[in-house]
Chain A
Amino acid sequence: MSEVQKIAFSPEAYELVQRLIRRYPEGKQKAALIPTLHIAQAEFDGWLSAPVMDYVASLLKIQPIEAYEVASFYSMFNLKPVGKCLIEVCRTSSCWLRGANDVVEHIEKKLNIKDGETTPDGKFTLKTVECLGSCGTAPMLQIGKQFHENLTLDKVDSLIEEWSKSTEHSKYLDNSTFRKN
């Protein structure tokens, strides 16, 4: 693919990866793979294409297959494009007990998509997920690194409203996530 040549992290992201690699002993740079895939996802529209994973592998001096097999194992890595706003709703026991199914149904109706789908305008993706450690403030959903807890359908509506105006991608990490030294 000709795309391959063009893929590169921003200088800040590149620098961050180098810093993270130094957290592990000499020769164990593969340990930085999961954090680096997170950074890649944040850099490239919230998902990991094969060329992006190849690039990550080259940064860490590992085989592309090592990046693919890891990316496909962990549920936070998206191997297909996602909407600008990825809505992740927990529906495990404690959230279900406090009305998570109503939240999912409400979003499905409002956005006219089903679990796992993206709106035609590419704005929203709905994903149901398993317990996010927010059971005491159920029901809840996550957008980027932000937890939204004690949800009501009104709260869900205002979140969707807010995000439909946003031009940003939802992200798990930003410049302040990792310390600089």
Chain B
Amino acid sequence: MGRKILLKHIDEPGIQGYDTYRRTGGYASVEKAVKTMTPEAIVEEVKKSGLRGRGGAGFPTGMKWSFLAKPEGVSRYLVCNADESEPGTFKDRYLMEKIPHLLIEGMITSSFALGAHTSYIYIRGEYFYIVNILEKAIEEAYANGWLGKNILGSGYDLDLYVHVGAGAYICGEETALLESLEGKRGNPRIKPPFPAIKGLWECPTVVNNVETIAAVVPIVNDGGDAYAAVGIGRSTGTKLISASGHINKPGVYEIEMGITVEDFIYSDEYCGGILNGKKLKAVVAGGSSVPILPADLILKTANGENRLMSYESLSDGGFATGTMLGSGGFIVMDETTSIVQNLHTFARFYHHESCGQCSPCREGTAWMEKILHKVLHGHGTLADVDLLWEIQSKIEGNTICPLGDAAAWPVASAIRHFRLEFEEYVKNPASIKEVKHYYNTQLV
């Protein structure tokens, strides 16, 4: 069995409630932090842990925290990003639903480290039933003295609130999230200034993913070095992976970074192999935004080494032959899957979710969806495939926020690795109904 850090007690009956959570050692990190540590010492431990943001970008958390401006007399905020809308990703939901106090505890310990006295959890509106769960957990935390005034007699005050969104993927982008929290449309801000300098209501703000904040709990309890001892290289600790698609055991798995992709897909401890004994065709390893890889390249790097579940190994080979760990949304496709049709669902998604601020993204995502629709319905031409390639290349890098890149990469990678399949759709539209697929590379 792999090592569990965040989900160690997940199978404990009643872990959703305060009493069981507390009995299994819950809230120890708050006690340790406010009674025995300085905020600076906590930031040091987080730095030592090597923890990298679990929201998708993988930015070192300790470093982000140390950038937080601390002008006299100005409030600072910690905002938890629970917008979780990247297709294929459902780990934050799992964590908040099953063990909500872990997030609450992480928020308190992290807020203390950052000197925030008011913190928010921004959760996507579709997760309203989890708002219930979090509100109850927060109520219990207040009732037991972990929130409010003078926590454990330390003189530290903290209020924690849940803030609910209303359906917009873009609000997962941290500056759009802050706009949304202020009661506005979710249009990303131009950076700099970064939120660490000017964030929520122009005050210094840290935005962190749910899983990142949860990981602060074991880091404070056991020390940064202990956390860094788990994992591989610069991919320290564990990662929650949301596994979906054509596998026998979809679900959320906590993995120690560094296990092989092959083990993750085929072992019974994790995905349990491909559904109905079919062959593996392709994987989107880190949420819809990251490049799709054909079976042979997801299992082995271009150099023939085993591909590992880690930031470095998944991105080995760059975009030519690699991908990214991203949010850990691991979507598996079997041999019957039409890559073009899957890509159409992604293109429709990004078109729907573009906030419309930047022309390359607003117009480009619309055209990519339209052209894919045309190709899918047997009206495409070879020139359309080239046009798709050209459009994506003109979005990438030309927008205020990375949604544009996120929309471009799936298109680029699908054409890069499965161009023959696009061509088949174009050349033999009559055969589309039988779904015969053509690959540049081998099935495994």
Contacts and interface: CB of A to CB of B under 8 A. Distances in A.
A86 interface: no
Interface in A69-104: 69-70, 73-77, 91-94, 96-98
Nearest to B136: A179
B428 to A, nearest CB: 22
Contacts of A98: 244-245
A133 B124 contact: yes
A147 B93 CA distance: 12
Interface string A90-126: 0111101110000000000000000000000000000
Contact of B93 (A30, A133, A146, A173): A133
Contacts, number: 161
Interface stretch (A1-9, A34-42, A159-167): A34-42
Interface string B106-133: 0000000000001000001111110110
Given A70-B184, A136-B250, A91 B164 contact: no
Interface in B44-63: none
B89 interface: yes
Contacts of B142: 181
A42 B266 CA distance: 45
Interface string A164-181: 000000001100111101
Contacts of B86: 131
A76 B139 contact: no
A35 B242 CA distance: 28
Interface string B160-174: 011111111100000
A53 interface: no
Nearest to A35: B164
A94 B195 CA distance: 33
Given A97-B246, A130-B349, A23 B161 contact: yes
B304 interface: no
Contacts of B181: 31
A75 B87 contact: no
A117 B288 CA distance: 28
Interface in B155-198: 161-169, 180-186
A75 B185 CA distance: 12
A96 B243 CA distance: 15
Contacts of A30: 182-184
Contacts of B167: 74-77, 129
Contacts of A136: 90, 242-244, 250-252
B410 to A, nearest CB: 9
Nearest to A60: B183
Given A93-B288, A131-B85, A145-B128, A69 B185 contact: yes
A93 B165 CA distance: 23
Interface residues of A, number: 49
A169 to B, nearest CB: 14
Contacts of A18: none
A128 B130 CA distance: 22
Interface size class of B (residues with CB under 8 A): 35 or more
Contacts of B161: 23
Given A38-B164, A94-B245, A136-B252, A33 B183 contact: yes
A37 B87 contact: no
A73 B135 CA distance: 26
A37 B166 contact: yes
Contact of A177 (B84, B118, B132, B342): B132
B168 A74 contact: yes
Interface string A12-56: 000000000001010010111111011000000000000000000
B164 A179 contact: no
A97 B88 contact: no
Interface stretch (B313-321, B329-337, B386-394, B436-444): B329-337
B329 to A, nearest CB: 7
B345 A93 contact: yes
B98 interface: no
A156 B341 CA distance: 24
B306 interface: no
Contacts of B87: 92-94, 130-131, 135
A124 to B, nearest CB: 19
A83 B184 CA distance: 28
Contact of B132 (A66, A133, A176): A176
Given A31-B163, A38-B164, A179-B135, A93 B129 contact: no
Interface in B244-265: 244-246, 250-252
Interface string B338-351: 00011001101100
A46 B341 CA distance: 33
B219 to A, nearest CB: 26
B352 interface: yes
Contacts of A142: 126
Contacts of A147: 129
Interface in B348-368: 348-349, 352-353, 355
Nearest to B250: A136
12 contacts: A30-B184, A33-B183, A38-B125, A75-B168, A92-B87, A98-B244, A131-B87, A131-B349, A133-B84, A133-B85, A146-B129, A177-B135
> Top 4 A-B pairs ranked by shortest CB distance?
A74-B166, A75-B167, A33-B183, A76-B167
Given A38-B166, A179-B139, 10 more contacts: A31-B163, A93-B346, A94-B244, A97-B246, A130-B169, A130-B352, A133-B127, A135-B245, A137-B250, A145-B128
